[in-house]
Structure 1
Amino acid sequence: MSSTAGEPRGSLALVLLSSPPRVAAIDEVPVPSLKGRRPRRLTAEERKSLTHGDFWIPEEERGIYKRALEALNAANVPYVVAGAYAIYEHTGIYRKTKDLDLFFEPAAVLPAAHALRDAGFVMRLEDPHWLAKAVHGEYFVDIIYAMGNGVAVIDEGWVANSRQGILAATPVRIAPAEELIWHRLFIGERHRHDMSDVVHLMLCLGDTLDWERLVMRVGEHWPLLLSQVLMFNYVYPGYRSNIPAWVPERLLERARAEIGRDQENLDLTRGPLISQFSFMIDVREWGFLDPRAELVRAARNRPEMRAISQADVWHERSDDRSDHPDDVAPADAPATSSSTS
């Protein structure tokens, strides 16, 4: 049985693409455990990670998102929907969430913030180099305009390669799968790991992805993509052909060229680029150099990030946190000027 764009092959399509009628929200019913098939209650943290095919947003939450999306659309602010809703659009898999992730180019952040503020949201600047929030009661919209590790900013490619969608009865643009994979390669915290999103995207869209663009996006961080390609082969051994053969061949060729060859800088660890907390000991106690800290400092000095930080649209801001992990540097590291070089 051949697959069409965006559909998994074979009988798996019947499982992933079926839409059983909703009976109750996921937190209203006991979820069966694999052990003994006895029902048990999931913790709040487990519910956040539980994946299923039942897409449903509570009415109050849907109303908040609709207000935000309509305000942005009315102001003609370009953005794409990412996060759990984008994963659902691409794969049919949904997990419980109480926020909406919207990605913007940095130049669109202040117009978006003004539009959302005028719509009644409390605007909070979380991290000047990548994240703000529009808060309404217990719900919030994440305004994301760069990667938290400072590796890249959201650029025009996110919008140019997006697709149409509907969320909360409002027309939106859905973030492209290739960029979602690229972004998720760097999310490897113990409390937040996006490997399953990556391999699910490869399963449902692998043979339709623009792999050339994805490999180009990943650039020098190609070992992260290779690790996920190998993980996909392990998780779905019957679907290895979803990934064009040239992709692992090219990445493995690069890997073979580096076997047994140490890089010149023995004091560097890229660990904080994927998990700032798990590798904090490397930086704070073992003396490794932290590329994340340098990338974040450079990002904060970009003119567009300075403009975002200095704008008066924010009701609240939390950019003076000296204990934030991104501000941590080795004790013997040279001081970094706050001015733009």
Structure 2
Amino acid sequence: MESAISPSRPGDEPVADTAAFYRHVLETLNASTIPFLVGGAYALHRYTGVNRHTRDLDIFIRRRDLPAVSEALRQVGYETELPFPHWLAKVHANGVYIDLIFSSGNAVAEVDDAWFEHASDEEVLGLPMRICPAEEMIWSKAFIMERERFDGADILHLLRARGAQLDWQRLFRRFEPHWRILLVHLALFGFVYPAQRALVPAAIMDELIERLRRETHSAPPQHDICLGTLLSREQYLNDVGQDGLQDGRATPLGNMSERDIAIWTEAIPQPKPH
């Protein structure tokens, strides 16, 4: 089975020390029998052939397994930190790191049992691994619309490469109640790849368009709310701060506490002085 990262372009393989760190962590987790999945650039390449320089390795786990994962890594000399308690931990070594992901930055795409039930068996860095399902990759990436990062192209590449194999009904259910986000990406797919637009089942498009029609002709919500914060942690701060709109991430509408939001906002990179 081929490696998840092809050596076809210089720099695609991690340097030796980094690769050794990645392999050691992966071997440690394999030996622990704690369920985990590899995602990020490694999984994207395996599904689509898109090659990308990556700064880290993304490992997906269930939230409840984080203590066990941390203990397994501690026993071989690694310490984990929890910079963002609502979705992500990190393990560091020699200036590089691995992300331990159990949700998403907006706390929508929680890693649950279905991620593991539908994962694919592959090979990463010469080791047998399971990678995140394409459906869950699409779901989690669909909300990333920051000014400096937009994962829409990744989604379109996944749809083009895997559209014929996708579990469309499961993907559709993942986007409830955020079905408009799915519609946006599927409409964009038909624009970017017009000859492949039949990869998206007509029944899915018909249902989404009918929902849009019904919603367009219904009364709007009574409360002023901004769901843009589910797409970007920075670009809608004025709306929920200065303009006083309700933050769509915050409970009970969303899954984030005020403390989660404050920590996530504090970590926004500051612009470099000219």
Match of 2:106 in 1: 149
Give CA deviations for 1:97-141 in whole Å, capped at 9, x if unaligned: 111111111121111111112222231111111110001112111
Match of 1:130 in 2: 87
Looking at structure 2, the residues matched to 186 and 269 of structure 1 have their Cα atoms a distance apart, in angstroms, of 14
Looking at structure 2, the residues matched to 284 and 81 of structure 1 have their Cα atoms a distance apart, in angstroms, of 37
Looking at structure 2, the residues matched to 67 and 286 of structure 1 have their Cα atoms a distance apart, in angstroms, of 49
Say which of 210, 214, 222 aligns to 2:171. Answer: 214
TM-score, length-scaled by structure 1: 0.72
Looking at structure 1, the residues matched to 35 and 6 of structure 2 have their Cα atoms a distance apart, in angstroms, of 34
Asked whether the 8 Å contact 1:120–1:136 carries over to 2, the reply is no
Asked whether the 8 Å contact 2:251–2:257 carries over to 1, the reply is no
Q: Specify the SS of the correspondent of 1:248.
A: helix
TM-score, length-scaled by structure 2: 0.89
Say which of 134, 146, 158 aligns to 1:189. Answer: 146
Asked whether the 8 Å contact 2:250–2:257 carries over to 1, the reply is no
Q: 1:152 to 1:98 in 2, by over 3 A?
A: closer
Alpha-carbon distance, 1:222 to partner: 0.5
Asked whether the 8 Å contact 1:151–1:295 carries over to 2, the reply is no
Q: 1:284 to 1:65 in 2, by over 3 A?
A: same
Matched, 1:274 2:251: no
Alpha-carbon distance, 1:260 to partner: 4.3
Q: 1:182 to 1:176 in 2, by over 3 A?
A: same
Give CA deviations for 1:47-97 in whole Å, capped at 9, x if unaligned: xxxxxxxx4232222111101101111111101111111101110112111
Looking at structure 1, the residues matched to 165 and 90 of structure 2 have their Cα atoms a distance apart, in angstroms, of 33
Asked whether the 8 Å contact 1:63–1:168 carries over to 2, the reply is no
1:229-240 to structure 2, matched below 5 A, reads 229-240=186-197
Looking at structure 2, the residues matched to 297 and 181 of structure 1 have their Cα atoms a distance apart, in angstroms, of 20
Alpha-carbon distance, 1:323 to partner: 6.0
1:76-115 to structure 2, matched below 5 A, reads 76-115=33-72
Q: 1:323 to 1:129 in 2, by over 3 A?
A: closer
Matched, 1:284 2:237: no
Looking at structure 2, the residues matched to 117 and 85 of structure 1 have their Cα atoms a distance apart, in angstroms, of 25
Match of 1:330 in 2: none
Runs of 4+ in 1 over 4 A off after TM superposition: 295-301, 319-324
Looking at structure 2, the residues matched to 194 and 130 of structure 1 have their Cα atoms a distance apart, in angstroms, of 18
Matched residue count: 263
Match of 2:270 in 1: none
Q: 1:277 to 1:322 in 2, by over 3 A?
A: closer
Looking at structure 2, the residues matched to 292 and 320 of structure 1 have their Cα atoms a distance apart, in angstroms, of 10
Superposition RMSD in Å:
2.4
Residue ranges of structure 1 left out of the alignment (5+ in a row): 1-18, 26-54, 302-318, 328-341
